[in-house]
Every structure is written in structure tokens, then in C-alpha cells.
Amino acid sequence: MFSVLSALIRNLYCNSNCSYKIFLGCFFINPYICITMEYNTQKTHLNMPEYGRIIQQLVERCKEVSDKDERNEMAMAIIDFMGQRNPQLRDEENYKHKLWDHLYILANYDLDVDAPYPFPTKEELEEKPKRMEYPKLQGDFKFYGKSILQLIEKAIELEAGDEKEALIEVIANNMKKSYNVYNKEHVTDDVIFRHLKELSQNRLDLTGIDSLEKSKIYYANNANRNNNNNKNSNNRNQPAKRRFNNNNHKNRR
């Protein structure tokens, strides 16, 4: 009975695919292998999974070497191997320094070797970056953006004259354009003048102007763009020029 079962298993094993062979080989031939199979979830934690378990085991073996010279030599070999596994690091600055830092992390911050760079501490690597301070705009004026506030401060610093007036008009025109884009509705010049006065804390006032003039620079750029478009359209509308055939001309002679 056992011989028949063994022959059946052997026949099924030879005629099956690769993955099924592994299952048959583990379960039927030696069922204890399946019981003692070790899964990745049961293995030790990987400090840096991108380097894989082989490098992690090499680092652990390096820590166990008693001779320091041999340990230093093995650490250098591991660094070269890490560079081969992650060639994209070579495009970064001081990639060797980063590899040594990664080696120290793989060793769980416990590795006695003569490194060419100082090892970072665990506290330095785990320190959270400082919170970024985002610009705060007054009230409901967030759609104007930080650049408008910077231009307003620049206009306030300028002395009274044509340059200051021109800059204020440019600021007001950009504010009107930003308002129309964000709110998707037409806005009167009085609203823009009032917003400009509030943002500048009453230091810039255009309420005495009847209407907002169009920015000459903005519309000059649009005019040049339209002229280029007209030229391109005219070239496309022109009939194709008749090509002169040199061979026919020679035959006529």
C-alpha cells in the first residue's frame, strides 16, 4: 500500500508545475518541512527594508566579528554591496556618507567600526522637522496670495512718484484678476480699492480714482501674442507655393 502511494506521489510530482512540486515536496515527501517553514512575518524586523534581508544579516554578522580590523574590512565590503543594490544614491551628494549612515541604522545604532564619517545618533535621525509657518492673510483675502502682500509692502516703502503710482496700479490690476479667477464673477473697481486699502492698513488708497486702468505690460504681452497667432494663421491660409522641378527644366532645354 505504501509503495503504491509513493509511486502515485512520485508520478504526480514529476508531471506537476514548479509551485505544485514545491508543495508536494514539502508536504507529501517530508511533511515536517511544512510545519517548520519560517515566514517573513516571523523573522527579525528589517531596519531598512529597501536593502533586503541579506544585507541585514551581513551587518549582524559584522557585529559579531571580534577582530576590529576584520570588522572594518567587512564593513567596507558591505558599503560597496549597499551601493550596488541602490545605484540611484550615486546621483545624490555625499552618497558615501549616506551609505555609512544607513549601515549604522541597519546595525541598530550599535556598530564599532572606524567609519570615515561620524555616525548620527538615534535622536538626531528621529527628530521631527520644525513646523512650517504658512503665510497668514487677513480675513477673506487668501485668494490674493502672498506675492500681493509683498508687492504692497514694496509699494509702501517707495517714495511718492510715478514709480509708486505705476506699481500700485499693477497691484490693483493683479488683485482684480485674482478675484475674478477665484470667485468666478465680475468685481467692480470700488471693491478692489477697498480691499487694497484694508490689506495696506490704510497706507495705499485708490478710492479717489474713477476706474482702474488696464496694465500696459499685461496687455502689451497679449498684443504680441495675438500678433504672432495672426501671423501663424495667415501662413496657414496662404496657398502652397508651386515647387520648381529642375528635371523638367533641363528636359525643355
- The full set of domain ranges for the chain reads 2-37, 49-121, 142-232
The phi, psi pair for 212, rounded to 5°, reads -85, 120
The phi, psi pair for 199, rounded to 5°, reads -65, -35
Biggest alpha carbon distance in the chain? 110
What pLDDT score does 20 carry?
40
Question: Are 48 and 106 within 8 A, CB to CB?
Answer: yes
Among 175, 160, 53, 48, residue whose Cα is nearest residue 101: 48
Q: Which position has the grid cell 540611484?
A: 88
* Alpha-carbon torsion, ordered 143, 147, 149, 153, to 10 deg: -170
Whole-number Å distance between alpha carbons of 69 and 79? 15
Helix, strand, coil shares of the chain, percent, nearest 5, are 65, 0, 35
Please list the pLDDT of the chain residue by residue as tens digits (253 residues).
Answer: 445 434 444 554 455 444 444 444 444 444 444 445 667 777 778 888 888 888 888 999 998 888 989 999 999 999 988 888 888 877 777 888 889 999 999 998 888 898 888 888 888 888 888 887 776 665 678 788 888 888 889 989 888 888 888 888 889 888 888 888 888 888 888 888 888 888 888 888 776 666 665 444 443 444 455 555 555 555 555 555 555 455 554 455 4
What pLDDT score does 77 carry?
92
Q: Which position has the grid cell 519560517?
A: 38
3-state SS, residue 150: helix
What pLDDT score does 93 carry?
77
Name residues whose C-beta falls within 8 Å of residue 71's C-beta, 6 or more positions apart in sequence. Answer: 62, 63, 65, 112, 113
Q: Provide the whole-model pTM.
A: 0.44
